[in-house]
Amino acid sequence: MSPVKVKITYCAECGYEPQTLELAKALMYEFAHDLASIELIPWEGGTFDVRVGDTLVHSMRRDGGFPESKTVIAAVRSALAAA
């Protein structure tokens, strides 16, 4: 079974910390130690990207806005099932 990692890249100059923490918390509660890691990457330029494994499941630039937690949770569930 391959480890599933999540990366959240957020704009640290845009006040996106609450959405970042909310998503990280949702993943922690939902998956506990089933996830290998949740990495938070402070960035800039209005970024809010979420990657599950190798798949970019949300990009503010590409998709607009913030992702629903349930969408990311579903992507993680699929990745865990395939791992």
Where do we find the tokens 């939902």?
A: 30
User: What are the CA-CA distances from residue 56 to residues 5, 7, 40, 52 (Å)?
Assistant: 12, 9, 14, 6
Rounded CA Rg of the chain: 12
Q: Which is nearer to other proteins, 49 or 79 (CB)?
A: 49
Smallest gap from Cβ 67 to other proteins, in A, equals 14
| Least separation in angstroms between CB 46 and other proteins | 10
Question: Residue 43 interacts with other proteins (CB under 8 A)?
Answer: yes
Say whether residue 19 binds other proteins (CB under 8 A).
no
